Structure 1
Amino acid sequence: MEEKQLNHFSHEEHPLILCELQKENDDGSTDQKSAVCYGCQEQILDPAAYSCFRCDFFLHKRCAELPRQITHPMHFLHPLVLLGRPAYSSGCCSCNACGQGHWKYFTYHCSLCEFDLDVSCAILDQREIKLDCHDHPLIQLKRPATIYCNKDVKDSSYLCTICPFWIHKKCALLPTTVKHKDHNHPLLLAYSLPSDYRSFEQSCPVCRKRVHLSDWLYYCGPCRYFVHVTCVVISHEDEGQPSEDIEYPISGEQDQNVVKLPSSNAAQELIARFLLKKDEISSSNDSGKSNIPKKIFMNSHRKHPLVLSEKVQKLDEIQSTTSDDDQEEAKALLLVCDACIEPICSSDDLQYYACAECGYFVHLTCSKLPPELHIPQHPQHPFYLMYNQSKVGLFTCKACGWQTNANFYKCEPCELCICIKCASASMITSSVRHDGHKKHLLTQFQSSDHIHCTACRDTCVGGFGFACEDCHFYVCYDCALLPPTTTQRWDKHPLLLIYPPYFEHPEVFYCVLCEKEINPNCWMYHCRECDYSLHPLSGPQIGRFRRVKFGRSLNVNNHSHPLTHVPEAKYKSFCGSCDNKRLDWEEAFECDSCRFYLCPKCARQRELIDDEE
């Protein structure tokens, strides 16, 4: 072998000589001198290498001939310069590619960015491959990489030489379609959240964490089902029927104590459960029983006696016998209980108490509400039945978060108020069977932590709600007690309460009232015949004022006529007290004969409290 001499910048003391490191013996065997390359710190297995035997210094031929400057796809901004050792005072660095720390040998370095690559990461294998996860050809790096990744792996990696894309080999070879054990449709691999599903925040059903736009995921578009690639558990079972059609056996479902929801008369059914035994409820439904008082007085209405009255027509009966033009007027004639602010027009046979002179009505069950209640979610103190003496005053229920002028239960030491409807829900000690979660029975929350309701995505506060802990399914009282159907004047069909996934309706849902897109991960009302959808809280009868009874009469100072509480003031209406504030279509107190209005704030300040109430 012809001797070749090289003056190399990494070993200025002596020139390096290209020498043979292998020696063939007479018997045909080969002896290999053990040597480690200074530049890359790998064993030299080549027949020859550049050597300085006096200093025991060796370089691979390829390392000795490395270019002094390169442009690397991981660092497009500036060229990288080859150094014999890192440029830092510590004498070592960490490779920005594989993460190897305390590197003290050949380094490609950018002084402006303090960017460093060891030799193995800097000199790429030029064999290119094409993968589905990226538009450009990729080159495999020689060393395992510890790049940031959703997967906790240390694996060889692929690098794009055109754009700054870098990926573990294991991630790059993920299957494009998988079958997840918790979902009955094939899931497709996506390298970011598809643009069609970015209108609302998506969460992974396995880890319960948010699916970020840049996350890799498997998804089922029609079901709006998204799971992180790190959370998917691949199933090898054959695809079954859609999950919505599966009938799940529920242990204990036949128990008579199980509460069935949704219900068109949930509030009254729940109140009756904790007030009366079943035989007492059935006896109270018999109008011929003499044990039901014909007249009563209530603390919330002491001015006149309340008279036992017959039930009113059901809402669907009224609608079936009236024209479209008369239905709004018919709805206005429906009676609303002043205690719980629920209609007295339900499917039960219960009678009610009425003061026709004052327009004050109470369900038979609500007339028997106990004066003291011990609510399991707040065992520290008892709750006492209260009512607002003010006709203007509203309170905010700490369970459902709604403002209401209903009667309520209050914990005086904690100033905690709960409406009648939520109080009745909190007294459920048995399990709940809800159509929104057919897999398992639901129970009361066992935690007071703030948890997001699966139905509406709002926060359930104070432990007031139902849960299936196994499935991380939570539903607040407000959603759990929604009626199964609702009606609107512009649709002759009832709108049904439906639950995701909506695999038969891959299109976007829009609320016909507010004209905003509906989150397809939430419950909604929907008419399949007309393809109309409705936010649960957009309907007038279940929306903003569903916990407020309007029509109550109010006496105020400096005005001779009583005012009526109305949900919407007429067009070009002004408050007669506070600088003529405009009240068009807003909640107000109205004197119809004088066209005089007061906003709620001014009405509260000028209200005359009747001592007899």
Structure 2
Amino acid sequence: MDVVGEFQKGEIDGKPCLIYQNVIKPQIHSPNSSDEKHLIQNPLPIQNMTKVAIDSGDNLPPPPLFICPSLRFKLTITIEAKLLDDGGPTPDVDGKLRISHLLGDNMMYGHDILPLFWCNNKEADPKNDCSICNTRKVGTYYYFCVECDQRYHKECVESPLEINYPSHVKHSLQLYNVKTFEHCILSTKKAEVLLYYCALCDIYMHVLCAQAKIPFLIDQPKKHDHTLTLFPRQASLTCNVCGLVDKLHLTYVCRSICDFVAHIDCIHNPQTIRISRHFHGVSFTSSLPSGKWCCGICRREIDSDYGAYSCNVCKDYAVHTRCALRKDIWDGIELEGVPEDKDVEPPFYRIADGIILHFSHGCHMKFETNGVYKENEFCQACVLPINEENFYVCVKCDFILHEKCADAPRKKVHPLHPHPIEQKVVHENHEFECAACMRKSSGFGYVCTINGCDYELDAVCASASEPFNYQVHPHPLFLALDPKKRQYATFASQQEFKR
């Protein structure tokens, strides 16, 4: 029995939308009755079969319909191993699932699971609440496997081997179990373990995202004054929010008096954010003042007729919408209504003229000028020798800091990392590895302020900023974007910006 995931028109809470359903498509034979004719012409959604089982059982628990997802993985591995033993073609090494989720197709294996109809989480569980996808989801039902003593999302259990998605109509997507993680094109989050994949287009969807309802109408006053309507087909329309042509995302249009167009993910973009490439917060604007604008991240031209993020302090700084929201640029936090943190503790206090008390050292330090190279004297922060540079030296011991290292801020935003970083003086084992140059250092480091993120830079790499003026090159240098970061859309204007 073949099952495929499809979307059909329906209503939820009185609002029209496209609703995901698993549709059973029996093999077409010569029908012997009008009922079979009707079933072939109108495939029965598997959700209706569950309802029929409940209604016809005299209030008894419904019979199991599905097998455990963990068993599906194990059986797929077994089939692939058997193909190799039999000298057959080499199976997929990327984890394409081969086992149906239906119990009827796998009755001999057991591991049937039952639905927890009374369990519907209204708030996200602080722990991963599905043993397969490791993802938290609000408002989902669960299945429970007695054999494995685990619970699973309804969407993960009922995921068929193939689905058809409205914004990707040319090809169906196949169900995969992968160990390498890729970003879901619908949520831009990592699609972990269980996902749908189109090999021809090389795109991924998390099973939860692929089965989410698709509203026909969206109201988002922060982005547009009028109600937006789902565009019924794929089209090369330029989004007014991001200025991109993106056929992989659902598109919404204004059917009122304007020609506003927006991708479904762009409609809900944050208003104010902090990015790693700029000192101040940036806010979304629907258009920029006329003139030539250069994106502060990718260095390409910004079309002022489309949306962008701009700085309220630096009137000449702006970035493309999609550039600002990259995972390696934005920390994922919405800052609308949140004041900027301006109370940053200074790295030292000036005690007297030429005397300071640095946070890293308990003694006073005296300012000195240097005109000669001192081979055996090193800065404690950057671990570089004291050349012909000014420095501070402890009045009681040989603790030395370059003047520029002593002036380095205790907390900063660095273009290489989306989260703020702060200085750290003492390290375990008295050394660490810099995430930028991959070298060991025994000096000061800058560590990420987010719990669980172990990113750290040494003092030298942390001092790099944009633009970087290199003495042997006549032009300013800027950090390049990660070439491994795939771009699903194209800019409406792909011209390189030239000053």
Q: Give the TM-score band, short-chain normalised.
A: 0.3 to 0.5
Higher relative contact order (CA 8 A, sep 6+): 2
Q: Which has the larger radius of gyration?
A: 1
- TM-score, length-scaled by structure 2: 0.32
TM-score, normalisation: structure 1: 0.27
